[in-house]
Chain A
Amino acid sequence: MKIMRPLSAVGIVASAALVLAACGTDPAASNSSGSSSAAAPAATETADVQCGGKSPLSAEGSSAQKNAIDIFTLEYGKKCSGQKVNYNPSGSGAGVKQFNANQIDFGGSDSPIKDADAAAAKARCASDAWNIPLVVGPIAVAYKLSGVDKLVLTPSVTAKIFSGAITKWNDPAIKAVKGNESLNLPDKAIQVVSRADESGTTDNFQKYLGAAAKADWTKGAGKKFNGGVGNGAQGSNGVATAVKASDGGITYVEGAFAKDGLTPALIDSGSGGVELTSANVAKSLDAAKFLKDGSNDLALDLNGIYASNTPGAYPLLLTTYEIVCSKYANPDVAKAVKAFLTVAATAGQEPLSAKGYVPIPQSLQTKVLAAVKAIS
């Protein structure tokens, strides 16, 4: 018995070393580093930040903007030392519900609140509730196909692929898209990969297809993929992994994941293929209209963006909103919310590109700052 003790200790140490060594070569570990996309159009405007008010602010909602909120919170802490925001990424639905129940100071949502939710929010605030778009992320139609590094897709072809009407890479419809004539497309099955979990990305992608390719996408929108073709995988990383696993795969995924073997397709909305870059996404936002013109409720008309054919603009994107009261009952809360959103719209935007989001262009930033200023 006594002889065994030191040896068993050796065993523990040895096995611990094994585990540690395994960690060192884990390929997943290197996966989280952000892609440094093309230089974003810097949102240059600065604004006075009036620090103070309630701390920590409590907020809840969309998990898609969790990383962005973390950055905003960091910048907010730098500008206003000691001020904090607690954000709980429990999902858009929960964010809206909690905001309307007066449980949190502002909510985060993948889509602007409207109808019954807007009415409830108005009742909660005793004033209008506003949607402030602060986080914009492009969605890539990403594929893996050896020998093809610059594929152009039209909305119609995309819709046909994701609904199972086009099943082979050498389908004449793909070849016929301007820019693909010279491609050597193989006689291979297209493996569509979608999100198995319910997701705002799926919702926006299906809305995009519905708006840009009405005739070819009849499956409707929603957080669940309705295409009825291919396989589902878990989460953004999951779909990226699944496509990387097999030559001939295609998926829709947040821009930041379309790298390391995945190629984002160029999108041709009628004015030629457009690459997924921050500048091209910003161009889309520049041309964006708002659902309520002239108001400080800055809900974007995404269908307008999706269906537009502005040359050089990348239309497939999603925005998340902060939902705020235009008038807070407690001036302390209003002060802190204003300070936080001001920092988020200025200093918070540029670091976003490292996480795969796109900083909002100046035209939108001006409007956001005006709206934030009007909060009281």
Chain B
Amino acid sequence: MSESSSTRTPTGDPGGRSSSVTTPPEVPISEQAAPPADKQPPAAEKPKKVRPGDRIFQNLTTGAGIFVVGLIGLIGLFLLIQAIPALQANKANFLTNHGWSTSDPANMSFGILDLLEVTVATSVVALIIAMPVSLGIALFLTQYAPPRLARPFAYVIDLLAAVPSIIFGLWGILVFAPAIEPFAQWVNETFSWFPILAPGNVAPSVRGTIFTAGIVLAVMILPIITSLSREVFERTPTPHIEGALALGATRWEVIRTTVLPFGKAGYVGASMLGLGRALGETIALAVILLIPQGKNFDWSLFDGGATFASKIAANYSEFNNEVSAGAYIAAGLVLFVLTFVVNFAARSIIGDKKGD
């Protein structure tokens, strides 16, 4: 990495005679370069000539760009169209109601408040755990680990991203939840006076809770955040690092004064992408979370519940009329908007940070 960035500046000379050439590169080409480059002058005389390869490639890339934007727009439109009949038939407030009852299309009352709260709660727990851990891993891999260890290590972490989420879900509920149960129980009992650690609405069970789900989710988003942060930290300009070292900085001071400021925007962006995955995670949460009957989410980590995506996944096999299905699609629409907002926020954070 460092070789390419450090050699980028003097690339103007072609190979051998590096010592003699000190002239600025642009001016002499048009005047003196008759013998070496035959095809350069005609290109300069007819500057507007566009080769078919260029045009085709440009059209293809433009097309791809338009296609994606169009696709997103159409998805939004589809969700909206499918959701409207259900929303009209809804007898409760869609945004502020906790319950979800859609089996009888003639008498539906559903609201997304619980889904929204559980979705946000699990994702935030996951992010709080995953962000510092990923930061540590990324810094270790780029700054501390010996290079021959860093590569295989990075591969192993990337491998985490290749594990299907159903495997994470089953592991979470069958292996991890029983293993962490004593600890969860202890935390729950010892700190029950603290609101977010109060006994949950699925008590006495502490397995199928947001606590468990959040940790599993953290493991799932770890590779994304780590991988992207590592890429960014790796690109810290060597002169900055060398400069800091030359000024007598320790390893930690180098990281604090050069790597972190340089990579902050990328790290935040990576975390937001991780958050995007956490918000949309489906089957792992459907498998892990218990769903309390007749109780609402109450802002405890030991609550259960359903997220947007897990709710849809749990019930899609029994969509037998369009109006009921529309209720779930309306929930999907909210998730769509939520993800959009998160990504938008992430972009603007990155954009702001890039300025300074």
Contacts and interface: CB of A to CB of B under 8 A. Distances in A.
Interface of A: 3-4, 7-8, 10-12, 14-15, 18-19, 26-28, 63, 89-94, 97, 189, 191-194, 196-199, 222-225, 227-234, 238, 241-242, 245-246
Given A11-B151, A15-B156, A231-B205, A223 B321 contact: no
B152 A233 contact: no
A197 B310 CA distance: 10
A3 B148 contact: yes
Interface stretch (B68-76, B258-266, B287-295): B287-295
Contacts of B204: 189, 191, 246
A197 B314 contact: yes
The main secondary structure of chain A at its interface with chain B is mixed
B153 A233 contact: no
B129 interface: no
B151 A8 contact: yes
B177 A63 contact: no
Contacts of B173: 238, 241
Contact of B304 (A11, A197, A231, A238): A231
Contact of B151 (A4, A196, A229): A4
A166 to B, nearest CB: 15
Given A231-B290, A242-B205, A246-B204, A197 B151 contact: no
4 closest A-B pairs by CB: A93-B320, A11-B152, A232-B291, A198-B318
A92 B317 CA distance: 9
Given A8-B152, A242-B290, A199 B177 contact: no
A189 B174 CA distance: 23
Interface range for B = 35 or more
29 contacts: A4-B147, A4-B148, A7-B151, A8-B155, A14-B152, A15-B159, A19-B159, A26-B170, A27-B175, A28-B170, A91-B317, A94-B320, A189-B204, A191-B205, A194-B293, A196-B290, A196-B306, A197-B314, A198-B315, A222-B103, A223-B103, A223-B318, A231-B291, A231-B292, A231-B304, A232-B290, A241-B173, A242-B207, A246-B204
B170 to A, nearest CB: 5
Contacts of B314: 196-197, 234
Given A231-B291, A231-B293, 7 more contacts: A8-B151, A14-B156, A18-B156, A89-B317, A231-B202, A232-B290, A246-B207
Contacts of A15: 152, 155-156, 159
A9 B207 CA distance: 38
A169 to B, nearest CB: 13
B319 interface: yes
B274 interface: no
A224 B306 CA distance: 15
B214 to A, nearest CB: 18
Contacts of B104: 222
A360 B293 CA distance: 35
A229 B294 contact: yes
Interface string B315-354: 1011111000000000000000000000000000000000
Contact of A245 (B207, B294, B320): B207
A345 to B, nearest CB: 27
Which of B175, B286, B287, B291: most chain A CB closer than 10 A? B291
Interface in B164-211: 170-171, 173-175, 177-178, 202, 204-205, 207-208
Contacts of B152: 7-8, 10-12, 14-15
A28 B294 contact: no
B101 A224 contact: yes
Contacts of A238: 173, 287
Given A224-B101, A225-B293, A91 B318 contact: yes
Contacts of A90: 317
Contacts of B286: 234
Nearest to A233: B290
Contacts of A233: 208, 290-291
